Amino acid sequence: MVRAIRGAIQVEANDRDAILSGVTELVSEVMARNALTTDDVISVIFTATPDLTAEFPALAARKLGFHDVPLICASEIDVPGALPRVVRLMAHVETGKSRQEIQHVYLRGAVALRVDIAQ
């Protein structure tokens, strides 16, 4: 089955290392909590709030071994009052898990975005 997994992390600053470190943590947690390998991943869409411009979030996934996985980055819409410095992802994966078994991952300040499903 194909499932979508959501996740987000709030990073400390618009800094290349902060973005790469945060996205590495986020992707690693999504993979671990859902018992996935890169072979299970169909594609990943990353978005970043408009205040994060120092690096492409997908680079962190490439460094984790997502060499043949289609990745794309986009800018999140600039909603007044939205949580700043957030990278979000939506990963499409092949898994035998039911929709209810999928673990969506919200880390650091991004937990506030989806308290209803954050693990």
Q: Is 38 left (phi over 0), alpha (psi -120 to 50) or beta?
A: alpha
- CA dihedral angle for residue 32, residue 38, residue 39, residue 43, rounded to 10 degrees: 110
Q: Which is catalytic among the residues 3, 55, 76, 85? A: 76
Q: Does 88 show up as a binding residue in the annotation?
A: yes
Copy the structure tokens of residue 47. 């978005």
Q: Which is catalytic among the residues 12, 16, 62, 94? A: 62
Q: Which is catalytic among the residues 3, 6, 55, 85? A: 6
Q: Does 106 show up as a binding residue in the annotation?
A: yes
The answer to whether residue 106 is catalytic is yes
Q: Which is catalytic among the residues 3, 55, 85, 106? A: 106
The answer to whether residue 108 is catalytic is no
Q: Does 99 show up as a binding residue in the annotation?
A: no
The answer to whether residue 85 is catalytic is no
The answer to whether residue 6 is catalytic is yes
The answer to whether residue 73 is catalytic is yes
The answer to whether residue 88 is catalytic is yes
The answer to whether residue 12 is catalytic is no
Nearest to 39 by CA among 8, 69, 59: 69
Residues in binding site: 6, 88, 106
List the catalytic residues. Answer: 6, 62, 73, 76, 88, 106, 114
